[in-house]
Amino acid sequence: MIFDKRLVKDFDKALLVITFILCLGGVLMLHSATQAKGLIFIESYVFRQINWIVLAAAFLLIVINISYQKFIDISYALYAINIVLLMLVLILGRERLGAQRWFTVGNFAFQPSEFIKINFILTLANLLGSKKGRLEDAKMFFIPLVLLAIPFLLVLVQPDLGTALLLIPIFLAMAYVGGMRVKHLLILVIIGISALPFFWHFLKDYQKQRLLVFLNPNVDPLGAGYTIIQSKIAVGSGGLTGKGWLAGTQNQLNFLPERHTDFIFSVIGEEWGLFGALILILLYFLITRRGFDIVSSTNDMYGKLVAVGIVVLISLQVVINIAMTIGLMPVVGIPLPLVSYGGSSMLATFIAIGLLLNIGMRRSRF
């Protein structure tokens, strides 16, 4: 694999560096969050996470070597495979934390819902790109909505409310950039919002509980509200400068549940304080900014749409994850990209960033 000069010139090295800085910070936090378990190194979360990063980096290398257009070409097939996997998860998946999100392949708990985000973006880009210029017509909504609805419902019944809902803003952003009329999109949003009470009945009890707890964590301070209360205490007690690495009492004394996965940010807030948190947010914002630069500088509509989807995906995951740790949003199972422990999320995020780099380095070829 030899890149031509132009590819190297347009390769966004800063984006790659930021990605690895975030991974490194994540590993440090993961050590702090899990050291109390006293595992030997090769069984530790840190070791496993490093393996995932290495594997994910390899995937990233593969992804940037194949033109993103090839992925778009096979996107329907990838989408179909992913949908089948989502169905299989419902039938065969292991139940964890009340939700069936995993396949176990060997030691690897494979989570198809992490990959549907990317495959959905690729497929939607393919569809919207091919209908370029004709999207002003409201009838054009039908197929994209079906494309959204299938994974949305499959993920929702897992149940993984967070991932399901995440697909909606991605859809809206891509449809908007693809050229659909704002008026049509607004009507769609209004219809969606008015259908919310209907969806309430589809939610599992624990999801309803989480949403109610978001409105008032004290309805169940030892049950569903416990996580959010302890997380707010952790972040809030961190103050400006934090309690220091490995020195957060909420973290080290086990008051924070789920702290190596969805609530890793609580550990950051507690141990590194507001300053640490702001640096982290700045790094994510830089990813978003570089992503938008790639979107703007790409003339190819397909590439543009994929890049938009990925930028919205990453930035919204960051915002939702942090907002939920400080009680600004309900607790939905959204990990902090590149930092939370988890193989599927790490692989999916690296593939997404790989696609972004891919589009950036090939922007002037089309």
Partner 1 sequence: MREKFLLIPIRFLFIFIVLGLIFTQVIRHPYYSRLSKDNAIRIIPIDAPRGTIFDRNNIPLVADRISFDVAVVYQELKNREKLIRLFKGLFDVPRKNIEDSLEKASLKPYAPVTIVEDIDKEKAFMLEEESFDIRGLVIQTKSVRNYLFKNVGAHVFGYLSEINEEELQNLREYGYRAKDLVGRDGLEKYYDKYLAGVDGGLQMQVDNKGRQVRTLGLKEPVSGKDLHLTIDINLQTVCDKALWGKNGAAIVMDPNTGEILALSSAPTFDPNIFIRPEDSSERVKLIRDRGRYPLLNRAISGVYQPGSVFKVVVASAALETARITLSTRFNCNGAYSIGNAKFACWKEGGHGSQNIIEALMNSCNVFFYNTGRTLGVEKLEGFARIFGFGKETGIDLPDETKGVAPGRLWKKAYKKDIWYEGDTINYAIGQGYLLVTPIQVLEMMAVMANKGSMVKPYLVKSVDTTEILSVNRRAVGLSDDAIRTVREGLYKVVNEENGTGKRAKVEGIAIAGKTGTAQNPLGRTHAWFSGFAPFDNPRICLAVFLEHGGKGGLEPSEMANEILQEAKSKGYL
What's the Rg (C-alpha) of the chain? 20
Report d(CA 51, CA 334) in Å as an integer.
Answer: 22
| Residue 240 makes contact with partner 1 by CB under 8 A | yes
CB atoms within 10 A of CB 63: 19
Pick the binder of partner 1 from 214, 255, 263, 341 (CB under 8 A): 255
Closest among 215, 238, 121 to 177, alpha carbons compared: 121
Q: How many CB atoms lie within 10 A of CB 316?
A: 17
Question: Judged by CB under 8 A, does residue 239 bind partner 1?
Answer: yes
Is 99 among the residues that bind partner 1 (CB under 8 A)? no
Q: How far apart are CA 238 and CA 236, in angstroms?
A: 5
Closest CA to 293 of 67, 1, 18, 2: 18
Number of residues that bind partner 1 (CB under 8 A): 42
**32 binds partner 1, rule: CB under 8 A:** no
Among residues 14, 153, 189, 278, the one that binds partner 1 under rule CB under 8 A: 278
95: enclosing H helix or E strand: strand 94-96
Phi, psi of 314 (to 5 degrees): -65, -50
Q: Of these, 155, 295, 339, 347, which contacts partner 1 (CB under 8 A)?
A: 295
For residue 100, the minimal CB distance to partner 1 (Å) is 28
**Separation between Cα atoms, residue 280 and residue 350, nearest integer Å:** 18
Q: Does 246 bind partner 1 (CB under 8 A)?
A: no
Give residues 303-322 in contact with partner 1 (rule: CB under 8 A). Answer: 304, 308, 311-312, 315-316, 319, 322
Q: b/e for 256-272, b at 16 or more Cβ within 10 A?
A: bebbbbbbbbbbbbbbb
Residue 235 binds partner 1 (CB under 8 A): yes
Which pair of structure tokens corresponds to residue 51? Answer: 């393996």
Of 88 and 278, which CB lies nearer to partner 1 in the complex structure?
Answer: 278
Q: How many Å apart are CA 89 and CA 176, to the nearest integer?
A: 32
269 binds partner 1 (CB under 8 A): yes
Q: CB-wise, 86 or 312, nearer to partner 1?
A: 312
Helix (H) or strand (E) holding 108: strand 108-110
The 145-184 contact track toward partner 1, x by CB under 8 A, reads ----------------------------x--xx-x-----
Residue 356 in tokens: 């972004």
Smallest gap from Cβ 261 to partner 1, in A, equals 17
Distance between CA atoms of residues 45 and 342, nearest Å: 9
The nearest distance, CB 227 to partner 1, in angstroms, is 12
Q: Is position 118 an interface residue for partner 1 (rule: CB under 8 A)?
A: no
Helix (H, G, I), strand (E, B) or coil at 134: coil
Is residue 188 a contact point for partner 1 (CB under 8 A)? no
Minimum CB separation of residue 141 from partner 1 in Å reads 17
Interface stretch with partner 1, choices 39-47, 51-59, 291-299, 337-345 (CB under 8 A): 291-299
Interacting residues with partner 1 (CB under 8 A): 173, 176-177, 179, 230, 232-240, 249-250, 253-255, 269, 273-274, 277-278, 281, 284-285, 288, 292, 295-296, 304, 308, 311-312, 315-316, 319, 322-323, 326, 328
